């Protein structure tokens, strides 16, 4: 049977752990410990996968609290997250949201053609990165990611010591209020969670802020060292091109200037406004009370 995870080694110290069509978690190895950036959907356990790749002690770092990035949190003893994530991490994702997510995916899992049409290059769903059947034993009814408190909170400028490399914490709210990015200035590796993505950049939730997102992306254009690689939460490619930062900044300026948009829909079936600029499609609110709770 096909594994739930697709594992790819980017270089000696960096692995991507992909749940194809869902999310990417990243494993970054230092000399003393390893950082696991996000813990996936929780649809299958992620720790056994990580332990096959390294024997180093693991520091889990959540880029933000959304259910598809925290599903495996309970599997790890060290759990770090942005200070603003403290309260939401304690809560579960609402059942209704999860049901909408699964219901939206099931027809795509069943139909590769529909999957390709819906993907439209967003997640680069090549055959080996196509959506996979849910693993045996997965029970969508009892699937309830979230509800696991952080063991340590991170703030702007904090550093996470992995031994021969360090990750600097950059607060990047906007997609969600608690978003953080992590930057290794010595190696130019930047982990951004959902702050940057090719394709649909979700900024239409009630809790999202286009203004905050613009400030956050602006910060990423002024990092203290050159960026060589962007590791994003949903682009199922090894590394996003660095020009994605400037492209996202330009896309957000388009939205702020009232550029034309089209009506769109997110994976949960909620309506939104979509402004496309190059590779970045900004999802923003249609102004109605479109919002829905992301945690209980």
Footprint of Zn ion on this chain (CB under 5 A)?
A: 66, 194
The answer to whether the CB of 201 falls within 8 A of the CB of 249 is no
- CB closer to Zn ion out of 66 and 204: 66
Give the nearer residue to Zn ion in terms of CB position, either 13 or 38. Answer: 38
Shortest distance in whole angstroms from residue 24 CB to Zn ion: 12
Give the nearest distance from C-beta 68 to Zn ion in angstroms: 7
Q: What is the smallest separation between the CB atom of 280 and Zn ion, expressed in angstroms?
A: 15
- Give dist(CA 152, CA 170) in Å, integer: 16
Nearer CB in complex with Zn ion: 53/122: 122
**CB atoms < 10 A from the CB of 192, how many?**
30
Q: Could you give the C-alpha distances from 242 to 127, 154, 245, 266, 276, in angstroms and in order?
A: 26, 25, 6, 26, 19
Between 33 and 209, CB nearer to Zn ion:
209
Question: Residue 283 CB, nearest distance to Zn ion (Å)?
Answer: 11
Q: Select 30 or 179, whichever has its Cβ closest to Zn ion.
A: 179
Task: Note whether 38 and 25 are within 8 A (CB).
Answer: yes
SS3 of residue 249 by DSSP: helix
Closest approach of Cβ 119 to Zn ion, in Å? 18
Question: Which residue's CB atom is positioned nearest to Zn ion?
Answer: 66
* Helical ranges in 59-111 per DSSP H: 67-70, 86-89, 95-110
Contacts 24+ apart (CB under 8 A), 7-13: 7/49, 7/53, 8/238, 10/229, 10/238, 10/239, 13/165
Nearer to Zn ion, 115 or 197 (CB): 197
Nearer to Zn ion, 19 or 194 (CB): 194
Gap between the Cα atoms of 202 and 198, Å rounded: 11
How far the first Cα of the chain sits from its last, in Å, is 35
CA distance 170 to 268: 29
Shortest approach of Zn ion to residue 176 CB, angstroms? 6
Separation of alpha carbons 72 and 228, rounded Å: 28
CB of 36 to Zn ion, least distance (A): 17
């Amino acid at each position: 049977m096909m594994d739930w995870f697709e594992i790819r080694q980017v270089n000696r110290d960096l692995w991507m752990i992909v749940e194809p069509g869902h999310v990417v978690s990243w494993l970054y190895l230092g000399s003393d410990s390893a950082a696991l950036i996000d813990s996936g959907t929780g649809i299958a356990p992620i720790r056994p996968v990580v332990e096959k790749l390294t024997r180093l002690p693991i520091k889990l770092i959540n880029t933000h609290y959304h259910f598809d990035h925290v599903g495996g949190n309970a599997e790890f003893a060290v759990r770090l997250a942005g200070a603003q994530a403290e309260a939401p991490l304690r809560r579960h994702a609402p059942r209704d949201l999860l049901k909408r997510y699964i219901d939206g995916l099931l027809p795509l899992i069943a139909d590769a053609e529909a999957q390709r049409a819906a993907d439209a290059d967003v997640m680069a769903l090549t055959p080996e990165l196509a959506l996979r059947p849910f693993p045996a034993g997965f029970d969508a009814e009892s699937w309830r990611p979230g509800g696991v408190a952080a063991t340590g909170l991170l703030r702007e400028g904090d550093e996470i010591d992995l031994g021969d490399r360090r990750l600097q914490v950059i607060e990047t709210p906007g997609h969600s209020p608690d978003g953080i990015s992590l930057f290794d200035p010595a190696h130019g590796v930047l982990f951004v969670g959902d702050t940057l993505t090719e394709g649909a950049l979700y900024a239409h939730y009630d809790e999202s802020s286009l203004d905050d997102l613009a400030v956050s992306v602006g910060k990423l254009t002024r990092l203290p060292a050159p960026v060589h690689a962007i590791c994003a939460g949903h682009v199922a490619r090894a590394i996003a091109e660095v020009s994605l930062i400037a492209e996202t900044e330009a896309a957000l300026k388009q939205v702020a200037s009232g550029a034309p948009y089209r009506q769109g829909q997110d994976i949960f079936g909620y309506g939104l406004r979509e402004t496309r600029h190059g590779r970045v499609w900004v999802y923003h609110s249609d102004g109605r009370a479109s919002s829905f709770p992301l945690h209980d």
